[in-house]
Amino acid sequence: MRDFYTIEPCATSDSFEIKFAKGAKIDIEKAAKALGRACQVLAKTPVVLVLKADDHSASVYASGRIMLKNVTREEAESIGRKYAAALEKGGAFI
Amino acid sequence: MMPYSERFPRNSPTLSVAQQEKVRRSAFSIIGLGGTGGFALECLVRLGAERLIVSDGDRFELGNFNRQLLATDRTLDAKKADAAASRARSINPGIKIKKLGKFDSGPLSARAIGDSEAVLDCTDRLPAKMEIAGLCRKLRTPYVFCSAQGPRGMVSVFSGYPFEKAFQVDEKRLAPKHCASTLCPAAALAGSLAAAQALNLAIGKPVVRAPNAMFFDIFDRRVSWRARLG
């Protein structure tokens, strides 16, 4: 699984940004397939995938960032691990 | 390419020929290209500034759309410094714009901003502001404090007055925290006022110097007034 870390973003409160190590980029099409099983896909463009789950919402960017909203740091780390595994399995990292 | 004189004729006669030339030749640094920084950039470019140094290590995201001028579908996920340079060149292709990534107080940043007429601090974190203010004080470069949060904003020029004294900084306030919501008119007003202060510094007009500051609240009937910091 990819190594990752979370940092506090400057956007809205209760949000966290996940950036993957080694500057990995994300294939949005493959990410939609990989993450769409567990989350509802609200929007998909060539640069961003907007997802909604029961306990959080997320924006997955082609540049390799994921913004997790309405989560604590602990939840962000846990969700991030799941996202990383799903993206890796789905071959979505470029 | 269209001549400079044909691009900004409507700045005259509010700006004299000499003042317009001074603006054109002066270097301005904008640190932070989000809510306030985007509007500050827009104003300086349309005022005719042709030497800009811009700094921001972030990329645009959906959460920026409510208030950041440069955040559009086209710039989503793009580097803010790239989007700023592109916007500035779309208004004036003759502009010379130096892009820095995330700002630090190291020698490269110091050299880049050192000959600026003014450094516009459009960042949104107090530790970053302290670092930029400290560097400007060391370089003896005028520092324009610019901040917007919620419906409010504040602008002040520091040229020697200690930043820490103005804001009575303590460790609690320095702790990292999330940004609260900011409304677009507040960001636009703060960024525009910061650009106006930079203009005034360049052409020798009065500025609001710390410990004095301009405050505004867009929900208040009085849009702006002066108050004392510290």
Residue B192: helix, strand or coil by DSSP? helix
Chain A interface disruption, residue of B58, B61, B103, B174, most A CBs within 10 A: B61
Q: Which domain holds residue B99?
A: 13-228
Residue in A45, A50, A63 closest to B59 by CB: A63
Q: How far apart are CA B20 and CA B9, in angstroms?
A: 10
How far does the CA of residue B181 sit from the closest CA of chain A (Å)?
Answer: 6
For residue A68, list chain B residues with Cβ-Cβ distance below 8 A: none
For A73-91, how does the pLDDT look when each residue is reduced to its tens digit (9 = 90+)? 888 888 988 999 999 999 9
**Tens digits of residue pLDDT in A20-62:** 877 789 999 999 999 998 899 999 999 999 999 998 999 999 9
Contact between chains at B178 and A63 (C-beta distance less than 8 A):
no
Q: Would you say B122 and B58 are in contact if contact means Cβ atoms under 8 Å apart?
A: no
Helix or strand (DSSP H, E) at A89: helix A73-89
Task: Out of A8, A9, A61, name the one closest to residue B77 (CB).
Answer: A61
Instruction: Report CB contact under 8 Å: B77, A62.
Output: yes
Residue B120 lies inside a defined structural domain of this protein: yes
Tokens of B10: 């409507």
pLDDT value at residue B191: 98
Taking the C-alpha atoms of B79, B85, B89 and B94 in order, what is their torsion angle to the nearest 10 degrees?
-150
pLDDT of residue A5: 66
Helix (H, G, I), strand (E, B) or coil at B108: helix
Residues of B whose CB is below 8 A from A47: 76-77
**Contact B37/B128 with Cβ under 8 angstroms?**
no
Task: Render each residue's pLDDT in chain B as its tens digit; 230 residues.
Answer: 889 989 999 999 999 999 999 999 999 999 999 999 999 999 999 999 999 999 999 999 998 999 999 999 999 999 999 999 999 999 999 999 999 988 888 888 899 998 999 999 999 988 899 999 999 999 999 999 999 999 999 999 999 898 888 887 666 655 555 557 899 999 999 999 999 999 999 999 999 999 999 999 999 877 666 667 76
CA distances from A8 to A49, B24, B81, B182, B225 (A): 20, 38, 20, 17, 34
Sign of the C-alpha dihedral, residues B224, B181, B99, B111? positive
The C-alpha of A63 sits at a distance from chain B's nearest C-alpha, in angstroms, of: 7
B interface with A, Cβ–Cβ < 8 A, is: 34, 58-59, 61-64, 73, 76-77, 124-125, 176-181
Count of domains forming chain B: 1
- Residue B2 falls inside a structural domain: no
Going along chain B, which residue ranges are E strands?
27-31, 51-55, 96-100, 118-121, 143-149, 152-158, 212-217, 225-228
Domain ranges (residues) in chain A = 4-89
User: Is the domain A4-89 a CATH 3.10.20.90 member?
Assistant: no
* CATH number of the structural domain spanning residue B117: 3.40.50.720
Helix (H, G, I), strand (E, B) or coil at A82: helix
Q: What is the pLDDT of residue A4?
A: 63
Residue B132 lies in a domain: yes
Is residue B3, in this structure, part of any structural domain at all? no
Residues in chain B: 230
